[in-house]
Amino acid sequence: MMATRLLMFLCLTGHVFAKEPPDVVECLVMHLEYIHCSWNKDRTPEVNYTFYSWFPYKTPRECPSYLSENSINTGCKQPYLQTGDRFSDFNTKLVHGNDSYEKKHELKERVKFNPPTNVTVQHGLDSNLWLNWTQISYRKVESQVRYRINNKPWMKPYYPVSAGIQYYCINLPSSALYELQVRSKLDYMVGGGKESLWSDWSEPVFWGSKNSSTDSSMSVWTPVLYGLGAFILILLVMMLLHHERIRIVFIPVVPKPSPKLHIVEDWFQFPNGLKESFKYNERPCPVREYCHVPESDSESSDCSTCSDTTDQTDCSVSIPVNKSDLPTSCSSSTSTVSLEEEKQVSV
């Protein structure tokens, strides 16, 4: 009876220690603004613990703001100091009476950001869909985008976005309903790794209107059909050229007229044999005309103009003239000339 009363007294005064140690302390750096530590993951502690924390070579400090549940301390929220050792080891200690529990934490693996804000989507002038958002310390943050069409399951795998970039482009979207979200985490170049924590997904944004799946699929296949048609056309032209169904003839440009004399055949590209045929090398043939001289001596001088004599060569040609075409006076001149020649011969 006395033992029971003593136990009750100790419980009321808070001098009974927990029969089991508290849960392991877990700490998160929330949005690079404060550190959230808790020790009630599996159960609520039986007693109130005092929480201390410190960075290396710093003095331990008690928690400035406790988180409680049913008047029992279950966590601590403290500012995240903007110091050079912000990603150094972080030490915590729970104290109750003579009992204490210490733990060392690597905060660079325990950074969690708030969901991205100012998430917008718009259809650009390049016919692509552009998603934009805002995130704190974006140069240290990598992101991930997901979207789905017409309320279907989310497209996987999710699309990564490198640190320093706060936009994503979907090429040639179809005329369907798009739902997009984005989340972020600390970039591995800064200290994050595979164990880094992703933020929650942002609020969804929408673009387009819900259409039938047939229309959506046809819109996606449109550029493919265009490309296939162009390929078939090029292939057909190549086949026609190969079988000489189509010939391409290049016509030379005719030069502009100039004051200088040009050889006509130089304008065109003739074969050598054909070009030589344009060169002529023939001897000229003189032509001689005879006309009968009339017997009248008085008209001999006029009749002499009726004859035209050129060089006497072997290729000379005589063209007789009909008597009917000449006047009668020319005949007498001819006889006169012949009599004179006979006298000279007789002499």
Predicted confidence at residue 57, as pLDDT, reads: 85
Predicted confidence at residue 341, as pLDDT, reads: 45
More confident residue, 180 or 263: 180
Predicted confidence at residue 7, as pLDDT, reads: 47
Nearest residue to 37 via CA among 110, 86, 89: 110
More confident residue, 80 or 336: 80
Question: E strands along the chain, which residues?
Answer: 26-30, 34-38, 50-54, 61-62, 66-69, 72-79, 89-96, 99-106, 111-112, 117-123, 129-134, 141-149, 159-161, 167-170, 178-186, 205-207, 287-289, 317-319
Amino acid letter for position 179: E
Number of other residues whose CB lies within 10 A of the CB of residue 330: 23
- Dihedral sign, CA of 171, 117, 180, 164? positive
Q: Does residue 15 have a pLDDT over 60? A: no
Pairing relation of β-strands 317-319 and 287-289?
parallel
Summary mean pLDDT of the chain: 74
More confident residue, 11 or 273: 273
Pairing relation of β-strands 61-62 and 50-54?
antiparallel
pLDDT band at 84 (very low <50, low <70, confident <90, very high): low
More confident residue, 315 or 192: 192
Predicted confidence at residue 298, as pLDDT, reads: 46
Number of other residues whose CB lies within 10 A of the CB of residue 34: 15
DSSP 138-185: GGGEEEEEEEEETT-PPPSSPEEE-TT--EEEESS--SS-EEEEEEEE
- What's the pLDDT tens digit per position in 40-51? 888 888 889 999
Q: State the average pLDDT over residues 4-14.
A: 48
Q: Is 58 left (phi over 0), alpha (psi -120 to 50) or beta?
A: beta
- What's the pLDDT tens digit per position in 115-130? 999 999 999 888 899 9
Per the structure block, which two tokens stand in for 163? 């640190």
Per the structure block, which two tokens stand in for 238? 């190549």
- What's the pLDDT tens digit per position in 194-223? 778 999 999 999 998 875 444 444 456 788
Per the structure block, which two tokens stand in for 189? 């170049």
Predicted confidence at residue 199, as pLDDT, reads: 95
Instruction: Give percent of the chain above pLDDT 90.
Output: 33
